[in-house]
Structure 1
Amino acid sequence: MSTSKLIQGYEVVIGFETHAQLATQSKIFSRAPTAFGAEPNTQACAVDLALPGTLPVMNREAVACAIRLGLALGSHVAPYSVFARKNYFYPDLPKGYQISQFEIPVVQGGEVSFYLGDEKKTVRLVRAHLEEDAGKSLHEDFIGQSGIDLNRAGTPLLEIVTEPDIRSSEEAVAYARELHKIVTWIGICDGNMQEGSFRCDANVSVRKPGQPLGTRREIKNLNSFKFMQQAIDYEIRWQIEQIEDGHAIQQATVLFDPDTGETRAMRTKEDAADYRYFPDPDLPPLHISEQWIEQERAQMPELPRAMAARFMADYGLPEYDATTLTQSKAMGAYFEATAKECGQAKLASNWVMGELSRRLNTEEIGIEQAKVSSTQLAALIRRIQDGTISNNAAKQVFDVLWSGEATEVDAVIEAKGLKQMNDTGALEKIVDEVIAANPDNVAQFKSGKDKAFNALVGQVMKASKGKANPQQVNDLLRARLA
């Protein structure tokens, strides 16, 4: 469980509810498609519209997705679970109720672990349950009318609920990022937050240390990590100010306005009793056999934590590197291909986490769209390792490869004249000339001033037009000045 962080003498308590849209071809209880972006009401069939006489039929692949999540999070996959009707009335809910799970969910317990800086955090999970999504209300202010799009009605969701273990907005974002990584890694959700495939609700409250839990307010539908942190930070400040001014916090559902940077109340928060849950008579209990669970386990990819542990064991990487390189399956694969080809795992790690990641972030693209392949990077690292080029020259080669001007590392080195000076005799001559031309720096170094030595190194590198091997320069200078 996460440790406390006090803000103005208050402890922040946050629980998360995340809706992950499952990557199925059809809806959870009908054969209607789930593709994003279709014309309104073109992907809603009779079942989704709740026409009389229609009955829901469970989508097997949605259950398989739930099993895979349970396996990934170390949860208990219930052999027996039950669907319920969650009753409320809203225009985009055709049946007047949502089919969900209440008393006996399909996934129970589990945890999500992640690093916040160098500190490992663990957030416990209460449950993950299957449910259908509602439709969407569209408000056209310029004509003063609203419409209903039922394309999303019946889209399969897994709602993943945590214990109130999170203690800051930074922890909340780190948790959400880790969960996002897991659901996309195992292929049950595409994770597209802009399209609503991964939506987070944060239950935020504050209390004095040692006091009972405070009254929570739920921030709904946070669809970016940036807005998530802004919304939670604002809500924390607002609640503390209200309490300090003598006001009681009222339980409510709130929305975050990114334009103002503020949360605003949408409605008073309902409790479970308000929804009048009862077992859905149209759906039998869901039975999951141990054989089915083992079949899904056998098809699971290597999970991020297992891959990170393997990178530490097989390649001798520090834990920080291994954790960073497994932020996505594609990044892990890119690093491993590079490391195997060049035989220099730590150098490969440094380049993937450093120059490559910097370029990806600048251009806002994923590693799948990297303009330097793992084979090219491996070739570049080999030339650094064998002393053909310096690190600075390697960055110049990387620039050319990234721009697409050339594709062969050796050809770029030759064309740009970037080879390091390997002629020891020529380098010794330059060193001797620099020593002779800089008697003051020599004297200062011999009196114990290291900065003078660095100045001499700089002069040698300048005289060699940057082609001298820096380590060789250091060794020759120290030998000459001994």
Structure 2
Amino acid sequence: MRDKEGLQDYRFMPEPNLPPLIVYEDNASLPTGTDACQAVVVQKIREGLPELPSVKRDRLVQTYGILPEHSFTLVNEDGLVEYFEAVLKATKKEPRKVIGWVTNELLGHLKQQDMSVSQSPVSPPALAELLDLQEMGHISSSVAKQVFQEMWRSSGKTAPQIIHEHDLGLVSDTAQLHSICQNIVDSHPDEVQAIRNGNKKVLNKLMGLVQKETKGRADPVLVRTILQEKTS
């Protein structure tokens, strides 16, 4: 039995209505006058493909300086990369600070209520506005989280509206903070003595007590300065 050796052995017949396709690596290698219907440019096809997950993760890490594990979280959740980048376009806050809000606060709320990113009641511009208020020192980090929760519950309300309605603005009145800090210092002599003996970490406890007294509204920088003066 003889082997099949040529096209005629396979009963191959060319189809006149299907012209041959010629594959080119890129546009530079495409000869002038080539019929576009007969040319397949690999570069053009490659550029039309969506961004691969591994490529997207590398881009996020290199562009925004976030941790690799954060890039995995963003890529694995449908629509989260787009949400994250939309927030970045609208806020002055650094990417490494924004990522915490997106992967912790936002994603945490979404998971609790079994919602997708597209169903979030807090839009990227709304979150960006909240982060800018915190960045500019109008509210503390703890208050920012309270406002976010209220924004989540009260869909449509902006961060400034909630801050105004609930009087959540940062307390920066020096006289008022001096009075509060003095009361805290007077009622915690052991902690004050520990600070004076060199245990500076105890100062954080006093700061926490001041924040508790002001419901998280005290200016932390000003509070630290006042407490340092009163415990020195």
TM-score normalised by length of structure 2 = 0.74
The alignment's C-alpha RMSD in Å is 2.6
Match of residue 297 from structure 1: 46
Asked if structure 1 preserves the Cα contact closer than 8 Å seen for 2:84 and 2:99, the reply is yes
Match of residue 145 from structure 2: 395
Structure-1 separation of matches of 2:188 and 2:77: 52
Unaligned stretches of 5+ in structure 2? 1-20, 25-39
Asked if structure 2 preserves the Cα contact closer than 8 Å seen for 1:304 and 1:329, the reply is no
Encode CA deviations 1:108-138: one digit per residue, 9 max, x unaligned: xxxxxxxxxxxxxxxxxxxxxxxxxxxxxxx
Residue 379 of structure 1, CA deviation: 0.7
How many residues matched? 198
Asked if structure 2 preserves the Cα contact closer than 8 Å seen for 1:347 and 1:381, the reply is no
Unaligned stretches of 5+ in structure 1? 1-286
Residue 422 of structure 1, CA deviation: 1.8
Asked if structure 2 preserves the Cα contact closer than 8 Å seen for 1:341 and 1:375, the reply is yes
Matched, 1:422 2:172: yes
Match of residue 164 from structure 1: none
Asked if structure 1 preserves the Cα contact closer than 8 Å seen for 2:140 and 2:219, the reply is yes
Q: Which of 207, 220, 226 does residue 457 from structure 1 map onto?
A: 207
Runs of 4+ in 1 over 6 A off after TM superposition: none
Asked if structure 2 preserves the Cα contact closer than 8 Å seen for 1:418 and 1:467, the reply is yes
Residue 450 of structure 1, CA deviation: 5.3
Q: Which of 39, 51, 76 does residue 327 from structure 1 map onto?
A: 76
Structure-2 separation of matches of 1:328 and 1:354: 13
Structure-1 separation of matches of 2:106 and 2:22: 44
Matched, 1:377 2:124: no
Residue type of the partner of 2:121?
K
Encode CA deviations 1:71-129: one digit per residue, 9 max, x unaligned: xxxxxxxxxxxxxxxxxxxxxxxxxxxxxxxxxxxxxxxxxxxxxxxxxxxxxxxxxxx
Q: Which is richer in strand? A: 1
Residue type of the partner of 2:172?
N
Match of residue 223 from structure 2: 473
Residue type of the partner of 1:301?
P
Matched, 1:441 2:191: yes
Residue 318 of structure 1, CA deviation: 2.3
TM-score normalised by length of structure 1 = 0.38
Q: Which of 301, 309, 312 does residue 61 from structure 2 map onto?
A: 312
Matched, 1:431 2:185: no
Structure 1 SS opposite 2:218: coil
Q: Which is richer in helix? A: 2
Structure-2 separation of matches of 1:294 and 1:329: 27
Residue type of the partner of 1:410?
P
Structure-2 separation of matches of 1:462 and 1:332: 36
Match of residue 91 from structure 2: 342
Match of residue 364 from structure 1: 114
1:98-177 correspondence runs (5 A) = none
Residue 327 of structure 1, CA deviation: 2.0
Encode CA deviations 1:412-457: one digit per residue, 9 max, x unaligned: 1111111111223322232223223332321233234556434322
- Relative to structure 1, the CA distance from residue 322 to residue 453 in structure 2 (aligned partners, 3 Å threshold; closer, same or farther) is same
Residue type of the partner of 1:368?
S
- Relative to structure 1, the CA distance from residue 461 to residue 404 in structure 2 (aligned partners, 3 Å threshold; closer, same or farther) is closer
